[in-house]
Amino acid sequence: MIFTTRWLGIVVVTLVLLGCRHERHVHEEVLTLRDSSLYLGVHEEMKLEVDFKGNGYPSSHLIWESDHPAYAVVSEVGMVKGLVQGHAVIRVMTSDGTYADKCNVRIHPTNHLFDEPAHEFGMSKEEVITGEPRELEVALSDKLIFKGDAKPVKKSMYFFEKGCLVTSAVLLQVEEVEYKKVKDFLLQRYFSLGIEKDIYFMTEGKMLIGLAIEQNGQLSIVYLEEKVLNAKGIGKYTYVKGIIDNVRN
């Protein structure tokens, strides 16, 4: 009888504990962002709202972070700011990491001053001609030149090796007050590498972009893959300068 009563007590205690655990699961703390995705312009800001019912977790103990702060940053109160075109995941969590949620953020440019030349390297001439909206002016074995269709584009050029696109360029004619707009256009899409002599360099992935400004209001922009420089064994300034001289002629 003592044995039976003892085991009966264990069973009762076990059931009570299981019931408590189930109750905790039903009413456990929940952290949820109201937006699971966000489409944000460069320089734009938006606050992410969070619903958090956490017993013993004050909202001041929530931690915010961006997995790609070069593209988008987030403040300690959930204010997200887009910095450059790309993608970032914003995550909010309790200080001990027990509860968390995330929001996928796409950052898009807000400056649409001109249409860039195609820079999907490896394209054939036929693919470039099909995709280029401007009128074809010159077609050579290693080069295609298209007329400018609207201000500020004067012409766009494509350079090929073994039938594949390796470099593209565009020549712009702008007023002096528009220089900053062109630079902003590029920096909304690419990361600055700084100035080397008279060429401003930017990058994105394995692509290099060079911007050169002349006194007569002309700007040349060159797009190329880094591996082109490695294959030729020359520096980026020498290569881009040669392309720019070609574009200006």
pLDDT in tens, 85-121: 999 999 999 888 888 999 999 999 999 999 999 999 9
- CATH of range 28-108; options 1.10.645.10, 3.40.980.10, 3.30.499.10, 2.60.40.1080: 2.60.40.1080
Residues 198-226 pLDDT 10s: 999 999 999 999 999 876 778 999 999 99
Among candidate residues 121, 120, 169, the one with its CA nearest the CA of residue 144: 169
Tokens, residue 127: 């693919």
Q: Is the pLDDT of residue 152 over 60?
A: yes
Q: Which amino acid is at 45?
A: E
Q: Is the pLDDT of residue 28 over 50?
A: no
Among candidate residues 151, 161, 170, 155, the one with its CA nearest the CA of residue 210: 170
Q: Is the pLDDT of residue 8 over 50?
A: no
Residues 138-147 pLDDT 10s: 999 999 999 9
Q: Is the pLDDT of residue 16 over 80?
A: no
Contact assessment for residue 78 and residue 99, using Cβ atoms and an 8 Å cutoff: no
Mean pLDDT of the chain: 86
Q: In the chain, where are the structural domains located?
A: 28-108, 125-248
Q: Is the pLDDT of residue 177 over 70?
A: no
- pTM, full prediction: 0.81
pLDDT for the residue 18: 39
pLDDT for the residue 12: 39
Name, in order, each residue with C-beta under 8 angstroms of 230's C-beta and a sequence gap of 6 or more. Answer: none
pLDDT for the residue 176: 65
